[in-house]
Amino acid sequence: MNPTALIFRPRTPDTWDDFETVMGESGGARRRWCMYWAIEYPGVDGRREQQAAMHELTARTAAPGVVAYLHDEPVAWCGFGDRSDLSMHARSSPLQPVDEEP
């Protein structure tokens, strides 16, 4: 794969279906929709709760990430945002902030 062939688009409601394609039917690794670091204690149906939370983030004005495409097919995604959105990081010793930035 030639990484220069990748095209990136903001993860928005318009690219939600492509994001779901990347995550697969189960919602990605351990069915968490990449929300492990943001949701402290998922409910009984954690997968659906986390999918709904990710969908809510996607609807925000500022895109919470990008979807990567190779030959017009969604193949990956990358999330980003404020540290304050990732509450589980606050209790992780190796992931403590190295500065005072939000």
Tens-digit pLDDT profile for residues 14-58 = 998 998 898 887 666 555 566 665 655 445 356 677 677 777 777
Rounded mean pLDDT, 81-102: 72
Predicted confidence (pLDDT) at residue 73 exceeds the cutoff of 90: yes
Which pLDDT does position 29 carry in this prediction? 56
At 44 the pLDDT is 39
Cα dist. 30→6, 24, 43, 67 in Å?
26, 11, 15, 20
- Provide CB contacts within 8 A for 16, sequence distance 6+: 55, 58
